Amino acid sequence: MKKVSNTRVISVRFKIVVVFALLILLSNLSSNYVNLIFNRSELYKLMNQLLTKDLKSLYSFCNNQYQIYEFDKNFEGSIKSIEGRGVHELKNNKAVFLGIKPDGTILFQSSKLGKFTTFTDSKVLSHMNSELQSSVLEGNMQFSLNKENYFGLYKYNSNWKVFLIRAEEINEFYSESRKIFTDISLIIIAITAVISIIGIFILRYILRFIDIITTGIMKMVKNQELTIIEMNGATNDDITFLGTAFNSLSSTIDNLVGIFRKFTNKDIVLKAYREREVKLEGTRQDLTIFFTDIKSFTFITETLGNDIIKLLNLHYDRTIREIDALDGVIGSIIGDALLAVFGAIPGSPGNKSFQSIAAAYKVHEVTKSLKDKMTKIKKDLEKEHGKMTKEENDVFKAVLLEVGVGIDGGEVFYGTLGSYVRMTSTVIGDTVNSASRLEGLTRFYKVPVICSEYVKNDIENNVDDHGIYFLELDTVLVKGKTEGKRVYWAIPEKDLTPVFKKNIAMYISGLALYYEGDWKAANKKFKSCTLPAADTFKERTSTPCPKNWNGIWEMKTK
């Protein structure tokens, strides 16, 4: 017996065995009982014949003793002789032979029971007297004696003026048939039990695929996934058809669920499994927003034409897999731009900001892998066919994708919008726009990943041994904002070579002078720095510092 969601599931095999065992038992016991009734009817007829024979014999003996009594006048002797002959004729312990006067007085009695002086069943006595007045001298009877029920025959003896009764106690008479009925019933029960046990094993084999099907379905319910039930070795019957039909249904639904998963965010799929529905609702949540964009997309589109779709699918296939592996949720894909959300999946073990930085560098690994592959192809083609044409070079440059990643975090509205006819998951908030603006800054500062101070603090305060160095790039007021924000280049510590660290130190010194308004000194520092981000400041600090300088650079474009 199995248990599913606190509900006991009884095996159909057990039900079949119990029902058939009960039906077989009821059938056999009923047959045995009917047999008992017929046997009792025959026994009753036979006993009537025996009682008739006994009564005739005793009746004749009583007449003989009456003649002897008239001859020797020995009343007591004749009574004893009659009682002795009656005892000789009786076989059962409760059998009786009685001589009852019309007034109910017992004249003589033959039995293994105690002596009785009066026949107490007045109703039967009245009936016999009534019959006697109608000249009916004998008949069948049932009466009560000594709190026992009897059946027998009576005949009136005119010599002794008594009713001669030969009778058997009913329960004693039927005791043997009851014993036989009980013994046979026990044998039937034992045989049924043995057959039931054998039936369990036979049905277990015949219905084994019911267990396989139900176990498979219960496992699917527990794991919230659809799989195919293994039906190898199944016979050609309706159970196999049931399993095959379920597998077909499972395959169809699994295919639909697979399509559903591809078009729907992971957290929405999990919620749909859990709540069995998707509602139009949303909540304010503290999330990290990840925004990536392909640079020079206009040139790529003009160069590749329709082939741009193949390139994007090649790029996004690996990119989305990397984001998904780090519990990121794809918010939207709009051509060259991709928006992802971290922290939306309940129970995700990682820190949302740390996962977003890891995803950013995984995306850059994807583009680097594609670059390396295409560079090798180019070298092979040049080696085989010579120098490439301008058109071929343009195609080569177009497929060498470069991406920028901007990351910000904070409180946003996250949920589903639309109608119950068509809905979509979305994220709304200033943080979304900010992540997009930070991605745009990667073009100015020529770095792969730019994040906000929120992301930096979230990782440094909540992740031990995070292995990320945050280099402050600038304090920027992006277009459309009213407040400047510090922006950071998240650098894996494993990439920090001695030369890299020296340049970082030079950059930090130059940035400090830049903030203080000493742009001339800052320019010297930046010129000594080889970091790509320093190029922007070399140009910017080549002019005098603006009046009323507050350390915030205002971006005029997105």
> What pLDDT does residue 213 have?
74
- Show pLDDT as tens, one digit a residue, over the chain (558 residues): 555 555 665 666 677 777 777 778 787 778 777 776 777 677 778 788 888 898 899 999 999 999 998 888 899 999 899 989 988 888 888 899 999 999 999 999 998 887 888 898 999 999 999 999 999 999 998 999 888 899 899 999 999 999 999 998 888 888 877 788 788 888 888 888 888 788 777 777 777 777 777 777 777 767 666 777 777 777 777 767 777 777 777 777 667 666 656 556 665 556 655 655 566 566 889 999 999 999 888 888 888 888 888 888 889 999 999 999 999 988 888 888 999 999 988 878 889 999 999 999 999 999 999 888 888 888 888 888 778 788 878 888 888 889 999 999 999 988 776 666 666 677 888 999 999 999 999 999 999 999 999 999 999 999 999 999 999 999 998 776 778 899 999 999 999 999 999 999 999 999 999 999 999 999 999 999 999 999 999 999 999 999 889 999 888 766
Tell me how far CA of residue 74 lies from CA of 58, 62, 231, in angstroms. 19, 14, 98
With 0-12 CB in 10 A as exposed, 13-18 as middle and 19+ as buried, what is 305? exposed
Query: Which residue, among 193, 199, 228, has the nearest Cα to 212 in the 3D structure?
Result: 228
CA distances from 353 to 290, 309, 326 (A): 9, 31, 11
Count Cα neighbours of 322 within 13 Å in the Cβ-side half-sphere.
19
DSSP annotation of 233 reads T
Q: How far apart are CA 467 and CA 445, in angstroms?
A: 22
Domain residue spans of the chain? 12-178, 282-554
Measured between alpha carbons, how far is 98 from 307 in angstroms, rounded to an integer? 122
Residue 396's alpha-carbon distances to 227, 295, 311, 373, in angstroms, are: 44, 15, 12, 11
Hey, what are 217's tokens? 């379905």
Q: In the prediction, which pLDDT does 394 show? A: 83
Decide if domain 282-554 falls under CATH 3.40.50.150.
no
Q: What is the pLDDT of residue 465?
A: 92
The domain 12-178 is placed in CATH, from the list 3.30.450.20, 1.10.3720.10, 2.40.50.320, 3.30.300.210, at 3.30.450.20
pLDDT reported for residue 554: 87
pLDDT given at position 184 = 83
Query: Phi-psi region for residue 151, left (φ > 0), alpha (ψ -120 to 50) or beta?
Result: beta
Give the pLDDT confidence score for residue 64 in this predicted structure.
93
> Cβ(388)–Cβ(382) under 8 Å?
yes
State how far Cα 528 lies from the chain centre.
67
Stated as kind and residue range, the H or E segment containing 114 is none
CA 268 from centroid of its chain's CA atoms: 21
Are 417 and 282 spatial neighbours (Cβ–Cβ below 8 Å)?
A: yes
Q: Quote the pLDDT of residue 557.
A: 67
Please tell me the number of Cα atoms within 13 Å of 317 on its side-chain side.
Answer: 7
H/E stretch holding 528 reads none
Provide the b/e sequence for 456-482 (b: ≥16 CB within 10 Å): bebbeeebeebebbbbbbbbbebeeee
Q: Are 167 and 150 in contact (CB under 8 A)?
A: yes
* pLDDT reported for residue 491: 96
Q: What is the pLDDT of residue 205?
A: 75
Contact (Cβ atoms closer than 8 angstroms) between residue 399 and residue 381: no
User: What radius of gyration, in Å, describes the C-alpha atoms of the chain?
Assistant: 54
DSSP 1: -
Measure Cα distances from 405 to 147, 354, 434 in Å: 107, 14, 12
pLDDT in the model for residue 420: 67
Chain-centroid distance of CA 447 in Å reads 50
Rounded-to-integer distance, Cα 481 and Cα 552, Å: 12
What whole-number distance in Å separates Cα of residue 263 and Cα of residue 226?
Answer: 18
DSSP-H helix ranges across 400-452: 430-445
